[in-house]
Each structure stands twice: as C-alpha cells, then as structure tokens.
Amino acid sequence: MAREQPNVGDLLPLLETSDLHQLEEIRGLINEQLSTERGSMLLNGLVDYFLETNSAQAMHILSFSQRHLLDKMNECMTKQACRLPTLTLLGHVIRKQPSWIHKIARYPLLLSLLKCLKTDTDVVVLITGVLVLITLLPMIPQAGKQHLWEYFDIFGRLEVYLIHLHASVYSLFHRLYGMYPCNFVSYLRSHYSMKENMETFEEVVKPMLEHVRIHPELVTGTKDHELDPTRWKKYEIHDIVIECAKVSLDPKEASCEEGYATMPENFYPQVHMRPQDCTSSPYTDLHSSYGQKTSHIYETLLNVMIWCFLPFYINVNSYLSDFRLLVGHLEMSPCTVGSGEGSIF
C-alpha cells in the first residue's frame, strides 16, 4: 500500500511544537515537500502562514528556499497590509546571506522594494525598507546604473520630508557614499545646486558630509568605474561593509568597523529641520498599520534593528546606544509618537 501523503496545511501549526524531535520531523516533511512539483504551493502557504503568525520556525525554513520565494514576496509587497511583515521576512532572509541572494537584483522584488521606498508613507514600513536596502546593497553592488539613480532618488525623497527617518537616512547616506562616491557626489551636486533645495542641503545633507572623510575614489576613480562589475569581484560582502566604515569620521564607526553608519552624538543638535505641521505636510497620513501604541512601535524598531544591524556589531553597548538615538529622535520629532490628536501613530 502506498504511503499516505501528509496534509502539509495541517503540518504548519505543528511548527510551533515544543517537542524538538517532533519539530525536526515536521521540518523534514516540509522540506521534502518543498522539493517536489507541488513545492510552490506549499511555499505560498508557508509565506502566508508566516505573515499571519510571524512564526520564527516558518521564517527559518523560508530563509533557505529560493524557488518561488522571491516571486511570492513580490506578490505580497503589492498588498499594504502584508508589506511590513514581508519586509521583515526579506530582511531575515538577507541576513542569512543564502548563496542565491545576489540573484535578487534580477527579480521584480527589488523593484517592488524600491517602489515602496519611493511611494509609501507608513513610517515603520519606510524604516524597515531602508534598513533592508542598506543591508542588501553590499550583496548586489553591481546592480546597474538604473537602480543606482533610484537609490539616490530614495535618499532625496526621504531626507526632505520624514524627520522620523533621519537615523535611517543617515545610514543610507553612508552606504551610498561608501560604495558609489563619484556617482553619489555627482547626484548631490546636481540635486542640491538648485535654489529650491539649498535649504535642505544646509540643514540635512551638509551635516552628514561633515562626518565623512574624502573618499579615495573621488581622486582616483570615475563614475563609470564604480559601475564596472569587475570592480566588485575582489570584494566579499564584509569587505564592502568595512570599506564603507573606513570613510566615516565617527569614532565608533572608524575604530570598530561595525559596517553601518552610527549616528554621531553631536549630529542631532546640528540638524534644524524645518518645522512640519502635521495637518499641512504632504505626508500627513502616516498611520502605521502595525499598531497604535508607542510601545509597539519601539518593539517593531527593536526587531528591525536586531535582524538588520545587530549581526554587524561587535559591541552590544554600541548597538544599544544607537537604538536609543533612533528612539530618542522619534520622541523629539515635531509629530510625537502617541495617541493624541495629530500624532503619527
């Protein structure tokens, strides 16, 4: 008699069992089914299960599944309610650095991520998306000129309007300057030489420039050389991260080579953002789909920083310090996080 095939839909809730032996059996059955012709259907169900339950076990299995996963996440990115958990899943997959992650540059999912960062107005979604992009960039350094200018447009869009994203935008600035200095400086020159952008340059971009060294590539490199795929062949992912850290003047960044841009302690006082009226801003409808309570926003930010930034830290105290800066900046922003009228969340 042929062995009866298990109902994989019934297996998914069993991933939450506390019995380690049973858990290994369930994982084995699911992985076995993923390798069959019906694997794409199971993977779709596994992604849906994660989006509904935030299951750590489902996330673990998905981290090692390339087949159909990127297409399924791309589909989920089109749904506002699924966008934040999908970005969380994508961030977890990226942090695992699977051998196929470089292929993401050829999938529609990358375009969906960039579109989200150029159009979405949910603050937590944008913070999560920016951190995903910062982590992803060293893995796809040769993504191409068309994507590069989209990265720059995202930087220009976010730093103008959303004071809540300042810590994330500062980190994005460091990544773009560290990887593509000639192209990025060219963008800054053309964008902020326009009269209508001069005030933003003085208040936002100039303080960032004051916390980086002159990049050697600005002297010896060219814009075309930065986009040459052969340029990156000698670098591993961690090499690119370290190269980005080397151009920072922040003491923690330069000495620890933590691989991301630390907010300098004297940075916030230098930034005097234009007061934003929550009733008149073009980004007034920034209601998070992930909850209304301040504590939940902080919990979400903490989870994002754990899966996105913590792997690059060699000092837990410096991680906690930067998380406090991010949370502190949320508290200092004109539209304070809270339940009162006019608040963002």
| 128 vs 345: CA distance, rounded Å | 16
Strand partners of residue 12: none
pLDDT value at 267 more than 70: no
Structure confidence by residue, pLDDT tens digits, 235-260: 999 999 999 999 988 765 544 444 33
pLDDT-derived band of residue 326, with 50, 70 and 90 as boundaries? low
Name the DSSP letter for residue 273: P
What pLDDT, on the 0 to 100 scale, is given for residue 316?
46
pLDDT-derived band of residue 108, with 50, 70 and 90 as boundaries? very high
Structure confidence by residue, pLDDT tens digits, 144-170: 777 999 999 999 888 765 566 777 888
What pLDDT, on the 0 to 100 scale, is given for residue 312?
42
pLDDT value at 285 more than 80: no
What pLDDT, on the 0 to 100 scale, is given for residue 35?
74
Coil/strand/helix, residue 248: strand
Structure confidence by residue, pLDDT tens digits, 109-138: 999 999 999 999 888 899 899 999 999 999
pLDDT value at 68 more than 70: yes
- Mean pLDDT along residues 24-49: 80
With 0-12 / 13-18 / 19 or more C-beta atoms within 10 angstroms meaning exposed / middle / buried, residue 37 is exposed
- Mean pLDDT along residues 93-109: 87
Its pTM surpasses 0.85? no
| 280 vs 199: CA distance, rounded Å | 19
With 0-12 / 13-18 / 19 or more C-beta atoms within 10 angstroms meaning exposed / middle / buried, residue 102 is middle
Structure confidence by residue, pLDDT tens digits, 209-222: 999 999 999 999 99
